[in-house]
């Protein structure tokens, strides 16, 4: 069975990764949401343009109906000229016809202006529809890539959880409880390295006799100041000289 200290170091590495997983998962979901939001924005713009075109078409039909009505009135007014007997009635009829002509011209100008707007908007819609079609395909591909990456990441996390469960079975229950309490109290850092007689968790000096116990043994040793579990990384044998002094 692997010694308890090494098991705790491995579990803390997994726990640290699991702690970060929620933040990483959130980023994946945020990326997916951003892709969907951007696409929704473009689709919304396109929908508004279509609605604008529909409104212009409705207004165009209304103006044409109104123009037909005015043209009908002009025809009736012109027909009345043949039945008029007095000069006064004749002048009044001419004024009426002139007013109708001005109304016709005004409505024809409005119709022409709307037709120009419709033509311009139809051209923009056609162009935007092609762009939107391409954009949808690009966003679908981006979303697929992010979702695949997320699914792979979630699978890796599940694998880490399984490894942790296997390690837990090998750890002394009391050691695991101590580790869990320390991890909650020390913001996720229960097991820390020591170097040059310093605890790298609280940066406090460790008494020489305790530091020697950390160096020479694999027992669980706590920092006298912060109570974190201490360990030391031994330098590989191949960088030692015959003197046994590392780095010399």
pLDDT tens digits along 105-129: 888 899 899 999 999 989 888 888 8
131 and 181 belong to one structural domain: no
User: Which CATH number fits the domain that encloses residue 53?
Assistant: 1.10.287.1490
Q: Does a structural domain hold residue 224?
A: yes
203 and 224 belong to one structural domain: yes
152 and 181 belong to one structural domain: no
Q: How do residues 38-55 score in pLDDT, each as one tens digit?
A: 888 888 888 998 899 999
What local confidence, expressed as pLDDT, does residue 84 receive? 79
Domain boundary among 136, 168, 200: 168
**Residue 92 pLDDT class (50, 70, 90 cuts):** confident
Q: Domain count of the chain?
A: 2
Helix axes 87-168, 4-80, angle to 10 degrees: 170
238 vs 44: CA distance, rounded Å: 66
Stronger pLDDT, 201 or 80, i.e. the higher one: 201
188 and 109 belong to one structural domain: no
Helix axes 173-185, 4-80, angle to 10 degrees: 50
| Cβ atoms < 10 Å from Cβ of 220 | 19
Q: Does a structural domain hold residue 16?
A: yes
What local confidence, expressed as pLDDT, does residue 18 receive? 86
Which residue range is the domain that position 19 belongs to? 10-168
Which single residue is written with the structure tokens 């200290």?
Answer: 5
137 and 198 belong to one structural domain: no
* Most confident by average pLDDT, 17-21, 81-85, 185-189: 185-189
pTM: 0.54
Q: Is the pLDDT of residue 76 over 50?
A: yes
End-to-end CA, the chain: 34
């Amino acid at each position: 069975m692997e010694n308890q200290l090494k098991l705790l170091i491995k579990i803390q590495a997994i726990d640290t990764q699991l702690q970060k997983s929620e933040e990483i998962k959130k980023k994946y979901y945020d990326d997916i949401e951003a892709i969907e939001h951007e696409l929704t924005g473009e689709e919304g713009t396109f929908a508004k343009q279509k609605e604008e075109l529909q409104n212009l078409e409705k207004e165009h039909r209304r103006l044409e109906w109104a123009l037909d009505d005015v043209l009908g009135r002009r025809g009736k007014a012109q027909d009345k000229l043949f039945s008029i007997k007095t000069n006064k009635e004749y002048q009044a009829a001419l004024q009426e016809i002139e007013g109708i002509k001005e109304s016709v011209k005004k409505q024809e100008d409005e119709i022409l202006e709307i037709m120009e707007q419709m033509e311009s908007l139809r051209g923009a819609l056609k162009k935007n529809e092609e762009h939107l079609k391409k954009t949808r395909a690009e966003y679908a591909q981006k979303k697929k890539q992010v979702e695949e990456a997320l699914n792979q990441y979630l699978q890796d996390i599940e694998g880490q959880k399984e490894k942790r469960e296997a390690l837990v079975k090998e750890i002394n229950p009391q050691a695991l409880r101590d580790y869990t309490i320390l991890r909650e109290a020390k913001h996720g850092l229960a097991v820390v390295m020591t170097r040059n007689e310093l605890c790298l968790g609280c940066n406090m000096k460790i008494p020489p006799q305790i530091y020697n116990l950390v160096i020479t043994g694999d027992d669980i040793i706590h920092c006298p100041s912060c109570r974190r579990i201490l360990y030391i990384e031994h330098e590989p044998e191949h960088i030692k000289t015959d003197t046994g002094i590392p780095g010399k």
